[in-house]
Copies of this chain bind each other. A is one copy, B any other.
Amino acid sequence: MEDFREIGRRLSNWGRWDVDGRRDERGTTNLLTPERIAAATGLVRDGKVFDLGIPFGPGGPQPGGGRINPVLLFSETGADQNYPGAFHYADDYVFMPLQSASQWDGLAHVFYDDLLYNGFPASDVSPHGAKHLSIENQAKGLVGRGVLVDVARRRGVEWLEAGEVITPEELDATLAAQGTELRGGDIVAVRTGWRRKFLSDGDAASFMAGEPGLGLACCEWLHAHDVAAVCSDNWAIEVLPGEVEGETLPVHMVLIRDMGMTLGEILDFEELSEDCAADGRYEFLLTAPPIKFRRAVGSPINPLAIK
């Protein structure tokens, strides 16, 4: 297998969207041009909305380890309030990793060889946050044409198993079976069924221990199709255990650091998948604004697919 660094070099988008000497910090979401956004809104027929975010709170897939499920606490419930008149209110606080449930990975989230996407130094990320490539750079996104690639459905399985590699050929075959064509600037949603597995067995440890997902060869495919962003119902987009001996999350490294691609993880395509199968339309307007956390490397999301 080709070395991931070679692939990264070949598919690199460094400098591609720099303007007037100002180094780009958005990466492939630059492909979400106004024209494409306008065109994507034309996909909406019935106005049916699908929420692709999972619930944030107890029972989520990350009960511990480096990340935890969001902890919601109430600073006000209406008790012990004495405002003038009848008024009572409730307020809530949350403590959570920005990567704890449905989320965008920002471009400062993963790096190697001391460089972030577009050549920014790894030292740009510190306890003070990401000086460059923060998720704030995606503030106007991500809106565009979404395409569901329902790998699990085409295979006829509830879910693929951990370690099963999705290849470019399978992506092509799935799209062909669906009758869907990719266009430049698409946001690709790959359904592995891994969310369904979690909904079925509730086993967080198993959900996190591995997963089916994209193989390294898919990086080239995403690049060739000018994909603006990729998201999935697993937690890392890519297959785990990975294909490359001695490397950790190579697809992350190539997609985020070399190509500048924002990744959407731990989404729920179950209802959407049913609907697409029913009407044969696997394309939709996708709108998934990140919360504008300053200097953050990710953001919780609740992407909406509108058909």
CB A299 to nearest CB in B, in angstroms, measures 8
Bound: A46/B84 CA distance, A:
48
Q: Closest B-chain residue to A52, C-beta based?
A: B289
Point out the residue from B33, B68, B75, B85 that lies within 8 Å of A246, measured CB to CB: B85
* Residue contact A92 to B296, C-beta cutoff 8 Å: yes
Given contacts A56-B294, A97-B91, are A80 and B34 in contact (CB under 8 A)?
Answer: no
Interface readout for A118-136 with B: 1 if CB under 8 Å, 0 if not?
0000110111111100001
Q: Taking the nearest CB of chain B, how far is it from the CB of A218, in angstroms?
A: 18
Q: Indicate whether A290 reaches chain B with its CB closer than 8 angstroms.
A: yes
A219: CB under 8 A from chain B? no
Complex formed: what's the CA distance from A161 to B154 in Å?
53
Cβ-based interface call for A99 (8 A): yes
Within 8 A of B (CB), among A32-86: 33-42, 44-51, 53-59, 63-64, 66-80, 83-86
A140 at the interface (CB under 8 A from B): yes
Q: Scan residues 93-108 of chain A and give those whose CB is less than 8 A from a CB of chain B.
A: 93-99, 102, 108
Q: Does A295 contact B (CB under 8 A)?
A: yes
How many chain copies does the complex carry?
4
Is there contact, CB below 8 Å, between B91 and A99? yes
* Contact across chains for A292 and B51 when beta carbons are under 8 A apart: yes
CA distance A122 to B35 in the complex (A): 48
The answer to whether A112 touches B140, judged by C-beta atoms less than 8 angstroms apart, is no
Alpha-carbon distance A110/B91, docked complex (angstroms)? 9
Whether a CB of chain B sits under 8 angstroms from the CB of A90 is yes
Once the chains are docked, how many angstroms separate the CA of A301 from the CA of B5? 37
Contacts of A47 in B (CB 8 A): 33-41
Would you call B90 and A295 a contact (CB within 8 A)? no
- Inter-subunit contact A292/B55 (CB<8 Å): yes
Query: Nearest-CB distance from A258 to chain B (Å)?
Result: 12
The answer to the question of A163 belonging to the interface, with a C-beta cut-off of 8 Å to chain B, is no
Chain A 171-212 interface mask (CB, 8 Å, partner B; 1/0): 000000000000000000000000000000000000000000
- For A83, what are the chain B residues with a Cβ–Cβ distance below 8 Å? 248
In angstroms, Cα B39 to Cα A306, docked, is 12
Given A74-B73, A97-B91, decide whether A247 and B53 contact each other with a Cβ distance below 8 A. no
With contacts A53-B139, A92-B98, A92-B297 known, what are 19 further pairs, Cβ within 8 A? A34-B48, A37-B44, A37-B47, A50-B140, A57-B295, A59-B294, A64-B69, A72-B294, A72-B295, A73-B93, A84-B247, A85-B244, A89-B111, A90-B110, A91-B297, A92-B296, A93-B96, A94-B96, A140-B304
Contacts A/B (CB < 8 Å), 21 sampled:
A4-B86, A34-B46, A34-B48, A41-B42, A49-B143, A55-B294, A56-B291, A63-B64, A68-B68, A71-B93, A72-B295, A74-B125, A75-B97, A80-B126, A87-B110, A87-B247, A92-B97, A102-B292, A287-B304, A289-B289, A291-B300
